[in-house]
Homo-oligomer: A and B are copies of this chain.
Amino acid sequence: MQSCGIPIESTDVIRLGHGSGGKLTEQLVEQIFIPRIGNPILNALDDAALLQIGGSKLAFSTDSYVVKPLFFPGGDIGSLSVHGTINDLSMRMAEPLYLSAAFIIEEGFSIAELEKIVDSFAVAAREANVQVVAADTKVVNRGAGDGVYINTTGIGIIKVINPPSANKAKPGDSVIVSGDLGRHGISVLCLREGLDLETELQSDCASLNNLVLSLTPFENSLHCMRDLTRGGLSSALNEIAHASNVGIIINDSQIAINPAVKGACELLGLDPLYVACEGRFVCIVDSTIADRVVEALRINKLGCDAAIIGSVTTEHPGRVVSKTSIGGRRIVDKLSGDQLPRIC
């Protein structure tokens, strides 16, 4: 197991960074949760668990959404909470079937805003062709919440023989990203901090199930898939490098980043490799089919900027290294601080 730095002490308290998807989150998971509730399925730390029930192979995934603000350019907590869980199921090549929806609502929250949120939840669920079959609503006192938090848990059916998993990357494989980075994180952050981007940047928030299922013909050569949420591309690649015990090299110059995202990142001192997306994924594929995978992704609007951005190597196992545009190399480590709390 990868070292997570200094052990958490019982006298410590939870910090915002424990929810940022980087090193502190990993520390929380590996020191508090895994030792108590771990088992081989959970410990794989894949985007969705793989369950064999009867003759069916199912994917199962849960996420709570605490994004702030609730409404942002390109979506809101309702659509986000559908897209996010659909995407986790999709990362195992599962066809999403069913969702649960559990709302924690703060006393005093506006019914009109709740209606808007449930409306976009419903539209996103219809678009992803999933049924909401279980639901729950709880109300907490004023000041004990922040408007609305939503948990969605999804079940999908896996029809491919060998679904992708974080531990299947092989030296020689190609690294493909499905589009440009950081739109979601930057849209939410700029709105929250009152920064005006002077452009109409929108979150990339979208359900990736159809895009991913279009890759079914390549199923035997798709080794790993990870959607780029908290912690961004950096976390996803570090998790894969660690689980597969391989090195990953990426070329900064091949990674698409919208100029508005680039500008905002410079202004805010953020590295786009660490900024969350909600409609992008990385996949590690056999290099012989990499060009065809990119071509297949580009047919779909959500994959139109797909590109090969790197490769898997036997060097520096467990580490991600980036070749910079001026020819240098730097280690792309996991996020260590509190960069972007409450982004999803």
**Interface residues, chain A, with chain B CB atoms under 8 Å away:** 8-20, 25, 28-29, 32-33, 36-37, 39, 41-42, 48-49, 51, 53-56, 58, 60-66, 68, 97-98, 100-112, 114-115, 118-119, 121-122, 125, 131-141, 143-146, 149, 151, 153, 155, 157, 341-342
Q: Give the residue name and chain of the B residue nearest to A101 (CB).
A: B37
Shortest beta-carbon distance from A47 to chain B in Å: 9
Instruction: Given A29-B137, A137-B25, A139-B14, answer yes or no on A36-B122 (Cβ-Cβ < 8 Å).
Output: yes
Q: Give the residue name and chain of the B residue nearest to A342 (CB).
A: B140
Contacts of A53 in B (CB 8 A): 53-54, 56, 58, 97, 155, 157
Q: How far is the CA of A180 from the CA of B301 in the complex (A)?
A: 59
Shortest beta-carbon distance from A120 to chain B in Å: 10
| Contact between B64 and A14, CB atoms less than 8 A apart | no
Tallying the copies of this chain within the complex gives 2
| Contact between B55 and A54, CB atoms less than 8 A apart | yes
Contacts of A119 in B (CB 8 A): 36
Instruction: Given A100-B60, A118-B36, A139-B18, answer yes or no on A10-B111 (Cβ-Cβ < 8 Å).
Output: yes
| Contact between A149 and B104, CB atoms less than 8 A apart | yes
| Contact between B102 and A133, CB atoms less than 8 A apart | no
- A selection of 27 A-B contacts at a CB cut-off of 8 Å is A14-B107, A14-B109, A15-B139, A16-B141, A20-B139, A33-B118, A37-B122, A41-B131, A41-B133, A42-B133, A51-B97, A53-B54, A53-B97, A53-B155, A56-B56, A60-B100, A60-B133, A60-B134, A62-B136, A64-B136, A100-B153, A102-B151, A104-B149, A140-B149, A140-B342, A141-B146, A145-B145
